[in-house]
Amino acid sequence: MRIPLLLCASLLLAACASLPAPAPAPDPASPPTAVASVPERYVSVETPGDELDSLATWTTEDGQVWVIATAKTTHQLVVFDADSGERLRSVGGKGSGPGEFLRPNGVAVHGDLLFVSERDNRRVQVLELPGFRSLATFGDTQLRSPYGLWVHETAPGELRVYVTDSFMDGPRHDQVPPFAQLDQRVRRYRLRLDRSGAPSVQYAGAFGDTRDATALRMVESIMGDPASGRLLIADEDTRHLATVREYTFAGQPTGRSVAPGTFLAEPEGIALWTCDPDTGYWLVADQLAPLTIFRVFDRATLAPLGAFSGQVTRSTDGIALHAASTARFPAGVLYAVHADRAVAAFDLRDVVEALHLDPACGQ
């Protein structure tokens, strides 16, 4: 997730992996002219063997910021220095015990708690920062193929955890299940902390639209806005309509989504950029090569407000937005996975200037 028990936009995320599916529509040779160029402030040293996926940030007691990434192939978590991109350590290894992982995918931070969804262990593991001590696991009796997750504080000492469950059908596990089963695309859990900080977890049900036109076919990234009580959930099925759909915290579809045809590939990471309690932006990665396009939408209406690409960053899975000041990024920073093998950093001041956004978001 450290700072007060309050979920930051930097959680993100949100949580991202490549689901088995046909290749997306052909990538353009270069981004459209409407896409601004925002150079990365750094790209970490590439480590192809990790297969990095999702990102979250956490601030230590002495003010240092970590970027925590899931590494699917090595079944670990990788910790980076958020200001320099230096790799600090790896955590865990392959297994099903406490502190071990099988294909970790989604990651989120709340306070000093780190939540990790493990696709092949079919569970969510809760660890305590900074030592990464495993406190609990949950979801193994309901989850079939967990990917993304988002954590929200509903009352002091009580959290709600939303987990996307993208189980698939067919001999190659690449077919959308019968629509009647798509009401289980997002599962909810109620987590309570006792006076010692030990968590207890209770299953709170599942949801998902089952109508042909608006069903959640292939899900991963999920992010919420506590100010409005709305969830954004990415549907990555490019065989139908890759988009981002809006739900209430209670699991009801609002009928709103990002305009059809906005995404050229899979919408992957989602981040909420909060400028003040009521205004801000949504950022969603359009998982393209040779360059990812980061699309910016109005926080309230989902209207598109602009897009940008870096000079290197491509095929992005997870993103994490750290709006709080750091030593190197006083106005905040967007972190993005680059080609499954590195982490890129974008100064939010550069994004504000390039897209002519609210200057208050770049201060």
Is the residue at 3 inside a domain? no
Examine residue 208 and state whether it is found in any structural domain, yes or no.
yes
What's the pLDDT at 276? 86
CB 209 within 8 A of CB 231: no
Asked, for residue 84, whether it belongs to a domain, the answer is yes
Residue 10: the pLDDT is: 42
What CA–CA distance (Å, rounded) separates 13 from 55?
6
63, part of any domain: yes
Report the C-alpha gap between 257 and 247 in whole angstroms: 9
The pLDDT assigned to 8 comes to: 40
- CATH of residue 324's domain is 2.120.10.30
127 assigned to some structural domain: yes
Of the CA atoms within 13 Å of residue 263, those in its CB half-sphere come to 28
Q: Please report the pLDDT score of residue 361 as a whole number.
A: 87
Report DSSP letters for 334-348, one per residue: EEEEETTTEEEEEEH
Predicted local confidence at residue 363, as pLDDT: 77
Please report whether residue 2 resides in a domain.
Answer: no
State the DSSP H helix or E strand holding residue 269, giving kind and residue range, or none if neither: strand 267-274
Residue 38's Cβ-count burial label (10 Å; 0-12, 13-18, 19+) is buried
Asked, for residue 54, whether it belongs to a domain, the answer is: yes
Rounded to two decimals, the pTM is: 0.90
Q: How many residues does the chain have?
A: 363
Contacts of 62 (CB under 8 A, 6+ apart): none
- How many independent structural domains does the chain possess? 1
Residue 350: what are its φ and ψ, rounded to 5°? -65, -35
| Structural domain includes residue 51 | yes
Residues 6+ apart with CB under 8 A from 80: 44, 66, 67, 68, 69, 86, 87, 88, 343
- Do residues 107 and 55 make contact, with C-beta atoms less than 8 angstroms apart? yes
Cβ atoms 282, 272 nearer than 8 A: yes
Given a contact cutoff of 8 angstroms between Cβ atoms, the answer to whether 245 and 216 are in contact is yes
Q: Which two tokens stand for residue 248?
A: 């209430």
Q: 349: how many CB neighbours lie within 10 A of its CB?
A: 17
Strand partners, 133: 128
The domain containing residue 150 runs over which residues? 9-362
Determine contact, residues 150/126, Cβ cutoff 8 Å.
Answer: no
Helix (H) or strand (E) holding 355: helix 348-355
CA–CA separation, 184 and 208 (whole Å): 6
Q: What does each of the 363 residues of the chain score in pLDDT, given as a tens digit?
A: 343 443 344 444 444 444 433 334 434 334 445 899 999 999 999 999 999 999 999 999 999 999 999 999 999 999 999 999 999 999 999 999 999 999 999 999 999 999 999 999 999 999 999 999 999 999 999 999 999 999 999 999 999 999 999 999 999 888 999 999 999 999 999 999 988 878 999 999 999 999 999 999 999 999 999 999 999 999 999 999 999 999 999 999 999 999 989 999 999 999 999 988 888 999 999 999 999 999 999 999 999 999 999 999 999 999 999 999 999 999 999 999 999 999 999 999 999 999 999 998 877
Cα–Cα distance for residue pair 329/88, rounded to 1 Å: 19
Q: How far apart are alpha carbons 132 and 140 in whole angstroms?
A: 20
